[in-house]
């Protein structure tokens, strides 16, 4: 758990820092004023924020309200004495503080022990909520259609044609496997971004894909979807001539993506993606191959057609429209 501290006393900040480190948690930042706290929380929102109520530049409850509006998080209000100023505490909790605590002292070991327990309990609550949120997110993602596109020789121009026709927001996750050395993948993503209205990014290892985003394989290893619905890079199979492999991603999607899939195989030399597209087709999913006339190299789509893995063969200019029609 990442914790931040707002207090005008450096001595108290040092005490809190020691207590938090002793619990095994990290301090992400500290500051002495409300103005700094608002800025810091916006740039780096902590999991738990300890806020002094009698700051010099702003009332504590007002600061808590501003942070909860702009960067909501769990907050403990710290007062010189909870018993002396109950009104301030109730104002702080009304503004969004989860709990309140009197300022601990090195002379009062009970107060230190009690604050430690409070932080530990919040950590358990935070972990529990985080787990629930991850499960909800994974469930939501897995109810989303996934459009998988494989391409090789002539692929960049073909991909650009499709992506330029897509709306800025879609209800699907898009994944592109383009045969390309990893030293050029970032440049290609940037090139596509500059000419389209949607966000294209390099897929990261262990990343949960987001609805409406377009991801590209970005290493010389094979990009796959694992059983948790996250991206994963794997070097196996080592002897596969195409890297990253369209087949490997397609097969992983069929195995681990329980919802609708659309498979698209574009221009390219060789046979990569044909068997993977067949696995889509055999699962009853919609599959598209770029037609011969619009291909730079009619290799990969031809191989898929020979396997009878293709629902429809289309000119490159018609593929985006067909995908969108089949997402409905």
Tell me the per-residue pLDDT of 171-212, one tens digit each, with 9 for 90 and over. 899 999 998 877 788 888 999 989 988 889 999 998 889 888
- For residue 227, give the DSSP letter: T
Is 144-327 a CATH 3.90.1170.50 domain? no
CA distance 316 to 320: 8
Q: Where are the alpha helices (DSSP H) in 165-234?
A: 182-195
**Between β-strands 231-234 and 222-225, what pairing exists: parallel, antiparallel or unpaired?**
antiparallel
- For residue 186, give the DSSP letter: H
Q: Which residues contact 327 (CB under 8 A, 6 or more apart)?
A: 145, 147, 170, 171, 172, 260, 262
CA distance 317 to 241: 29
Residues annotated as catalytic are: 152, 179, 272
pTM, full prediction? 0.61
8 A C-beta contact, residue 246 and residue 273: yes
pLDDT 10s digits, 202-249: 999 988 898 889 999 988 889 999 988 889 999 888 878 778 999 999
**In the prediction, which pLDDT does 130 show?**
64
**In the prediction, which pLDDT does 182 show?**
74
**In the prediction, which pLDDT does 137 show?**
57
- Average pLDDT of every residue of the chain: 88
- For residue 292, give the DSSP letter: G
- Between the alpha carbon of residue 223 and those of residues 145, 177, 218, 234, the distances in Å are 18, 8, 8, 7
Q: What is the mean pLDDT of residues 249-258?
A: 92
Please tell me the class of the 2-139 domain: alpha beta
**In the prediction, which pLDDT does 129 show?**
63
Percent residues over pLDDT 90 in the chain: 56
8 A C-beta contact, residue 316 and residue 161: yes
CB neighbour burial string for 301-325, b if at least 16 within 10 angstroms, e if fewer:
bbbbbeeebbbebbebebbbebbbe
Residue extents of the structural domains in the chain: 2-139, 144-327
The length of the chain is 328
Tally Cβ neighbours within 10 Å of residue 148. 28
Q: What share of the chain is helix, strand, coil (3-state, %, to 5)?
A: 45, 20, 35
- Here the tokens at position 87 are 């009104």
CA distance 60 to 244: 54
Percent residues over pLDDT 70 in the chain: 94
**Torsion, CA 12, CA 43, CA 170, CA 318, rounded to 10:** -150
- Here the tokens at position 267 are 């221009």
Identify the bridge partners of residue 262 per DSSP, sorted by sequence position: 147, 286
């Amino acid at each position: 758990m990442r914790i931040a501290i707002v207090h005008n006393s450096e001595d108290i900040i040092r005490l809190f820092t020691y207590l938090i480190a002793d619990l095994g948690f990290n301090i992400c930042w500290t500051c002495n004023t409300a103005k700094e706290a608002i800025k810091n929380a916006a740039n780096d929102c902590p999991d738990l924020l300890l806020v002094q109520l009698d700051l010099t530049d702003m009332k504590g409850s007002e600061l808590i309200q501003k942070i909860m509006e702009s960067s909501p998080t769990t907050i403990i209000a710290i007062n010189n004495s909870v018993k002396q100023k109950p009104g301030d505490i109730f104002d702080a909790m009304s503004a969004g503080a989860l709990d309140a605590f009197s300022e601990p002292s090195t002379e009062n070991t009970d107060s230190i022990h009690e604050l430690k327990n409070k932080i530990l309990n919040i950590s358990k609550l935070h972990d529990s909520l985080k787990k629930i949120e991850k499960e909800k997110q994974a469930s939501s993602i897995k109810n989303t259609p996934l459009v998988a596109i494989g391409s090789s020789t002539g692929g960049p121009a073909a991909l650009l044609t499709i992506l330029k026709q897509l709306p800025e927001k879609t209800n699907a996750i898009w994944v592109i496997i383009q045969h390309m050395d990893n030293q050029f993948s970032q440049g290609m993503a940037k090139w596509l971004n500059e000419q389209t209205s949607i966000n294209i990014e390099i897929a990261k290892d262990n990343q949960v894909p987001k609805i409406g985003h377009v991801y590209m394989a970005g290493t010389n290893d094979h990009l796959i979807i694992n059983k948790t619905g996250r991206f994963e890079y794997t070097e196996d199979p080592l002897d596969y001539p195409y890297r990253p492999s369209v087949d490997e991603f397609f097969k992983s999607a069929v195995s681990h993506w329980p919802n609708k899939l659309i498979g698209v195989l574009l221009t390219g030399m060789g046979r990569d993606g044909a068997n993977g597209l067949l696995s889509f087709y055999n699962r009853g999913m919609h599959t598209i191959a770029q037609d011969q006339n619009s291909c730079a190299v009619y290799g990969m789509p031809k191989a898929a057609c020979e396997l009878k893995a293709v629902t429809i063969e289309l000119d490159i200019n018609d593929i985006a429209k067909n995908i969108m029609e089949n997402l409905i």
